[in-house]
Amino acid sequence: MHITSLPSPFGIGDLGPSAHDYVDFLKASRHKYWQLLPLNPTDEAYGHSPYSTFSAFAGNPLLISPELLEQEGLLKEEDLKKPPGISNKKVRFKKVQDHKLRLLKTAFKNFQSLPAPRSYGKFCKIHSYWLEDFSLYRALHGKFKNAWNLWPEEFRDRDPAALKLAAKELSEEIAFEKFQQFVFFDQWEQLKKHARKKKLQFIGDIPFYINHESADCWAHPQFFKLDRQKQPIKISGVPPDLFSEDGQLWGTPVYDWKILERENFSWWIARLRQNLLLFDVVRLDHFRGFSAYWEVPAKEKTAKNGKWIKTPGTAFFEEVKKVLAEMPFIA
């Protein structure tokens, strides 16, 4: 049961009362686990699929509960009125996104008028590995309004002086992005505490690949097979089979596993660690990719002309086990 599918007066299921009620239902019906789809941000470009995200670490602001924001004094009751075009039966993402953005901007304005809670500083410290890059990426995305590899060269290639200047110029936009993430993780933590009381555990989900249009690909281009202009050289998919004579061309950049291995798989391990902050058990999607993956030249129109490339999966999981000894994963 994904969060988006829960009942809600706001056009999309969220982390508020209905999620807490669902935990109670699961407890009453003697369930031990609640399995979810990925909770990362989604967008229109990929039909809001939870498996296509512009961050492997951030949470989806569309899942933030307006009711909990009102309880915390960041919204008023009149802010919660449902605008026209919002459906109780189906998620109309464009309408929901516009409505949630208005609510979150109002909540942010109210948040700024209050002293920053101690928990905000703690949140920024815990999530420092990805939060700065993600917030700056989103702010620059709003400024240039196109793909990051088409940004001016100094921003595309992360020139430190240019990024420092941008961080100053876009400080308000960056603060808004951090606020949304703070609220998302705070509301998730409330839900997790409630689940813990009911002895219910969460099963999360990690997509194998990340979109080229993502904070991760921009911040860590060395981990992906890209050219000097930061365009993908090779892309992902699976070969032809009984379901598709052309195979499936997924189109995301593939990893440069040699570079990942040279750096002790630090990015992947940080990603696993991040998901274990959220979930008790994590499902690793496309697990077969940890043994070998289907690599297709970026200019191909189908997945036919690809080849299997071996992945250092054994070395990877040996490294993971050193850090995350319990290995609470589902393959």
Q: Determine the pLDDT at residue 83.
A: 80
How far, in Å, CA of 151 to CA of 287, rounded? Answer: 34
With beta carbons less than 8 A apart as the criterion, state whether 300 and 306 touch: yes
Which contacts (CB < 8 Å, 24+ apart) does range 224-227 have?
Answer: 224/253, 224/254, 224/255, 224/256, 225/253, 225/254, 225/255, 225/256, 225/295, 226/253
Q: Which two tokens stand for residue 13?
A: 């299921």
208 three-class SS: coil
Q: Determine the pLDDT at residue 261.
A: 98
How far, in Å, CA of 269 to CA of 130, rounded? Answer: 13
Q: Determine the pLDDT at residue 18.
A: 96
The ranges of the chain with pLDDT < 50 are: none
pLDDT in tens, 39-68: 999 988 889 999 999 999 999 999 999 999
Q: Determine the pLDDT at residue 168.
A: 98
H or E element: which one contains 193?
helix 171-197
- The model's pTM is 0.96
Identify the sign of the CA torsion 36, 93, 156, 293: positive
Give strand pairing partners of 297.
Answer: 234
With beta carbons less than 8 A apart as the criterion, state whether 236 and 251 touch: yes
Q: Which two tokens stand for residue 9?
A: 């007066």
Q: Determine the pLDDT at residue 225.
A: 98
With beta carbons less than 8 A apart as the criterion, state whether 240 and 304 touch: yes
Name the strands in the sheet holding 234-238, side by side, starting at the edge strand that comes first in the sequence.
Answer: 248-253, 234-238, 292-297, 307-310
Q: Determine the pLDDT at residue 82.
A: 79
Q: Determine the pLDDT at residue 116.
A: 83
